[in-house]
Structure 1
């Protein structure tokens, strides 16, 4: 899903960069309020896990690629603000050292994977977590939050590329959404397993409890 340089019109990547910068500034402000020294390792471990997961790429039409995101996993366990910072760190490292995604497209990649994906997961999990109770409901909420976060990021990526005139919407949209509908299933299953394990380890059972990162768990 990383967009390379040259794929986005300047108006698109400048606008996306502005939105991403505002979201990151808010994330830093909100995370600072709850982050403690003992909680920093949790963010580091999560970043390392997501970094490894994102290194497995699948080629998609138009020169872009698809991969697991980890946005829902980070948002559910650590909150959407912390998730945004984690994903942004991962994306910057991948761009600088592995040439995965372009410099001019960094703002768009951050918007898609570090802003849209975690917040879609956040909203979905909160909504479904309030409707369904028990372990089964939690599993459904987690899976759908992860799947929809992947689809939302893929949709945003498709629109950015299409509106830039790089690839027609009729080509990039079905390719991206088709691949990521399948990738989202894998992401959902992985997220369910990890969230279930970590929640038991940390003693978190229901949405709304305090997470290890100090914020409100989703």
Structure 2
């Protein structure tokens, strides 16, 4: 679901990026008001969970791959505004360091995975939980919220892909950016997510939520002590397991490189050309593209990338927590 650069027109990216600005602004204000200094590192943990879950690629129907996102999980644990910030930071680091998702398309990816997914997933969870007041209702809400959240996010992404050939063509009528119309992009994105990726998202969400509820209920319930070390232990375990994501071969739908897309087969026919917007579009070289490190085996590069990402999130949100502590202390003084 990570849209690369040059699949969406610059104007599409600008519109979706502009749409995220007020969302991020409100989210930052809400986080400042609602998240205490002691809980601020949890935003880094949330970003780490999202980052690691997105590294576990799974095979999807049609020979492509997909992944969970964890947006609903973070929203349930910390609130949807905190989830928006955590997933946005995870997406930014992925784009800048690992080339997973575009730089220009960052706003679009954040709109889909850091806004639609966690907010919709959370409100479905809350709606069910508030009406079925039992543990069963809680888990039904978690399952349906996470499953529907990622599927609607995928559906919105498919629309973003599919409107490109309608709106942006060259003088000969060929698409400048994503060449696949809605009749192709919608089923190509939604069917695999309905059948597989949504199930993976729900399973990850339930398993991790259940683990955190057992070992650190204070992360979920106010007035109970948080046990962060147990959560860090889970993150270490996930880091060690990330190379399993390498077992899924194939490229995620809509994430082919300019050197691949002309050979992609749809409806029995290869595309046969490279859209000009992709061929001559924006180019950015990530430091560790595709989570690989030159000179290291793929599995070692994957683990090193996971460690680097988690370290960045942990340090970043600890610094933010310290700044909040100092600011609150100065205000109190």
TM-score grouping bracket, smaller chain normalisation:
0.7 to 0.9
Q: Cα RMSD between the aligned structures?
A: 2.2
Instruction: Return structure 1 stretches of 4+ with deviation > 4 angstroms.
Output: 58-61, 209-212
1:24, distance to aligned residue in structure 2 (A): 0.6
| Residue 184 of structure 1: aligned partner | 198
Contact 1:60 1:175 in 2 (8 A): no
| Higher relative contact order, structure no. (Cα contacts within 8 Å, ≥ 6 residues apart) | 1
Q: TM-score, normalised by structure 2?
A: 0.59
* Structure 2 alignment gaps of length 5 or more: 166-177, 227-333
| Residue 12 of structure 1: aligned partner | 12
Which one has the bigger helix percentage?
A: 1
| Residue 27 of structure 1: aligned partner | 27
2: CA distance between counterparts of 1:9 and 1:45? 33
- Summarize the alignment of residues 52-63 of structure 1 with structure 2, pairs less than 5 Å apart: 52-58=52-58
1:134, distance to aligned residue in structure 2 (A): 1.3
| Residue 111 of structure 2: aligned partner | 111
| Residue 216 of structure 1: aligned partner | none
2: CA distance between counterparts of 1:161 and 1:96? 22
1: CA distance between counterparts of 2:111 and 2:50? 17
Query: Aligned pair in 2 of structure 1 residues 169, 60: CA closer, same or farther (>3 Å)?
Result: farther
| Residue 93 of structure 1: aligned partner | 93
Q: Deviations for 1:4-57, whole angstroms, at most 9, x for unmatched residues?
A: 111112332111001111111110011100222211221122211211111223
1: CA distance between counterparts of 2:13 and 2:66? 19
Match of 1:197 among 211, 225, 228: 211
Query: Considering only CA atoms, is the larger Rg found in Structure 1 or Structure 2?
Result: 2
Q: TM-score, normalised by structure 1?
A: 0.88
Contact 2:125 2:141 in 1 (8 A): yes
* Structure 1 alignment gaps of length 5 or more: 213-218
Instruction: Name the stretch that deviates more: 162-171 or 146-155.
Output: 162-171
2: CA distance between counterparts of 1:188 and 1:60? 16
1: CA distance between counterparts of 2:60 and 2:200? 17
Contact 1:87 1:113 in 2 (8 A): yes
| Secondary structure class of the residue paired with 1:38 | coil
